[in-house]
């Protein structure tokens, strides 16, 4: 059976429905943090091109979500950077993942980006192998340090 998927912009109505996917990809993110972040993508004007994509299967069920921002990259020029990438489908994650990657590439072409970069939480594991089979290559490792807020000087 051939699977079919439809990608569309992430909407305010998709935010709550997408949370189980977000939670599966990023277990430390709670609903409040996701809502706040996602509303900034779909509700608020941004000085930078940002957005989200929702992926639905042929039954209309949300099975993938990604968020993106456009950056300039020294190596590649204008790049669509995917910060959140989550794809799960009851009949198999790989088909949904490939369809979501295709949606990211179509969005990149639409926005005239020369490259797509995908941030994978925790370094990858099996999902990194799936990305490699679709032509993506690891280029960098991101180190992150949480900073304490500065206290106001009296």
For position 14, what pLDDT does the model report?
94
Alpha carbons 47 and 1: distance in angstroms, whole number: 43
Check pLDDT > 70 for residue 119. yes
How many angstroms separate the CA atoms of 16 and 27, rounded?
Answer: 15
In which band, very low, low, confident or very high, does the pLDDT at 75 lie, cut at 50, 70 and 90? confident
pLDDT, tens digit, 9 for 90 and up, residues 76-115: 888 999 998 888 876 667 888 889 999 999 999 999 999 9
Domain 5-133: CATH architecture, name and number where available:
3-Layer(aba) Sandwich (3.40)
Q: Is the pLDDT of residue 49 over 70?
A: yes
Q: What is the pLDDT of residue 146?
A: 67
Position 131 confidence tier, pLDDT thresholds 50, 70, 90: confident
- pLDDT for res 153: 65
Residue 33: is its pLDDT beyond 80? yes
Q: What is the pLDDT of residues 136-150, one digit of tens each?
A: 787 777 767 667 887
Q: Report whether pLDDT(11) > 80.
A: yes
What average pLDDT does the chain have? 84
**pLDDT (0 to 100) of residue 76:** 85
DSSP code per residue over 51-111: EEEEEEETTS-EEEEEEEEEEEETTTEEEEEEEEEEE--TT-HHHHHHHHHHHHHHHHHHT
């Amino acid at each position: 059976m051939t699977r079919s998927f439809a990608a569309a912009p992430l909407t305010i109505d998709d935010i709550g429905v997408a949370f189980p996917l977000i939670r599966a990809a990023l277990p430390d993110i709670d609903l409040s943090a996701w809502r706040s972040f996602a509303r900034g993508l779909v509700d608020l004007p941004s000085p930078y091109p940002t957005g989200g994509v929702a992926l639905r299967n042929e039954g209309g069920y949300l099975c993938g979500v990604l968020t993106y921002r456009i950056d300039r990259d020294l190596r590649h020029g204008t790049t669509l950077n995917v910060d959140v990438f989550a794809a799960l489908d009851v009949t198999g994650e790989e088909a949904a993942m490939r369809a979501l990657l295709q949606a990211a590439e179509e969005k990149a072409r639409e926005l005239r980006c020369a490259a797509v970069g995908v941030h994978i939480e925790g370094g990858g594991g099996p999902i990194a192998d799936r990305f490699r089979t679709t032509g993506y290559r690891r280029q960098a490792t991101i180190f992150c340090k949480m900073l304490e807020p500065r206290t106001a000087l009296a």
